[in-house]
Amino acid sequence: MADRTQPAGDGVPQENHGVPGDAAVPVPAAPTADAERATAPLDGAEDGQDQASSRRAGRRSSDRRSRKKRPDTFWGSAREILLVLVWAVLIAFVVKTLLVRGFYIPSGSMENTLQLNDRIFVNVLEPTFGPLERGDIVVFEDAKGWLPAQPDSGGGPTDAVYDALAFVGVLPDRTDQHLIKRVIGIGGDTVACCDASGRVTVNGEALEEQDAYLHPGSAPSELEFEVEVPENHYFVLGDHRDASADARVHLAEIADNGAFISHDDVVGTAFVIAWPLDRFQLLQNPDEVFADVADRSAGGS
């Protein structure tokens, strides 16, 4: 019986009776799927918190950079705008001095060609090339005192700004020191009124002004006169003869050439009505009115 052996590993569990050295060691249980699902969001939350913190830090950094750049951007834009304005004023001043100049019409003396409050541009370059032509519409300085003295209104800040902008050519000149009329006679011409038909004559040639530019209903002149225009001077009349205090009114001052405009006082010739827009038009010289007039200064009779 002692030789009987017992098969090993018969699968019958052996009971541990607490033999020293054989203490049971607990084995960690494998995590279940539920545990994995429960712990996974914790890792994602940490990642999300890190990303959110990074974004906030990035925004703060971007805000700091924006605050640093904003002053530079503002002053840079301000400098650019100021530079553009300075260049605009300089260009306007050069254009006014060398090319064109703006004026507004304060009276009806040139109706219907020019009407009250029309804005016109004047070619200031043309007088530098020589004498003007008969029929030109000319702006000139009131060097002979044709206009009555105007009281000094004192003006205000608005007037001062307007006058400054007008001086550099940005706005039309509205000062009272200029007049605008039409050239009828040039140096050497004999201008007279009137022939048997009531027309103005230049060097004996009658002018057909009525349909060309004369205000409807206006006579060529209610005053009789005959004058010889000095060299380098002009005899000028308004298109609305009944409402124009032109050269005819100053014939008594003829001894001092008060009835004539010096070429040196000419600002330029009007070439366009620029405002209002419904009045926009180019101003043409009515050559046909003076086509048959002989040039006395060139040896005409």
Q: Can you give the pLDDT at residue 14?
A: 44
Q: Report residue 147: phi and psi, to 5°.
A: -85, 145
* Sheet strands (E) in 90-136: 100-104, 119-123
Q: Can you give the pLDDT at residue 18?
A: 41
Separation of alpha carbons 230 and 184, rounded Å: 13
Active-site hit among 109, 218, 221, 244: 109
Residue for token pair 């000062």:
175
Q: Is the pTM of this model over 0.95?
A: no
Q: What angle do CA 212, 215, 219 make, to 5 degrees?
A: 95
Q: What is the dihedral of CA 180, 181, 186, 190, to 10 degrees?
A: -150
Is the N-terminal amide bond of 148 cis, ω within 30° of 0?
A: no
Give every CB contact of residue 191 below 8 A, 6+ residues apart in sequence.
184, 185, 200, 201, 202, 225, 226, 227, 229, 235
Token couple for 54? 């990074």
Residue 137 is inside which H or E element, if any?
strand 137-141
* Residue boundaries of the structural domains of the chain: 102-147+177-289
* 181 is known as an active-site residue: yes
- From the list 121, 118, 244, 129, the residue with the least C-alpha distance to 182 is 244
Alpha carbon 159 to chain centroid distance? 19
**CATH classification for the domain delimited by 102-147+177-289, as one of 3.50.50.60, 3.40.50.140, 3.40.50.300, 2.10.109.10:** 2.10.109.10
Q: Can you give the pLDDT at residue 285?
A: 95
Separation of alpha carbons 173 and 162, rounded Å: 9
Q: Which pLDDT tens digits describe the chain residue by residue (301 residues)?
A: 444 444 444 443 444 444 344 444 444 455 444 444 444 444 444 555 555 565 655 555 555 555 555 556 778 788 788 888 777 777 766 665 567 888 989 999 999 999 999 999 999 988 888 889 999 999 999 988 888 766 555 555 666 665 565 555 545 555 568 999 999 999 999 999 999 999 999 999 999 999 999 999 899 999 999 999 999 999 999 999 999 999 999 988 766 778 999 999 999 999 999 999 999 999 999 999 999 999 875 444 4
Active-site hit among 96, 144, 181, 244: 181
Are residues 119 and 274 in contact, defined by beta-carbon separation less than 8 angstroms?
yes
Neighbours of 60 (CB within 10 A): 10
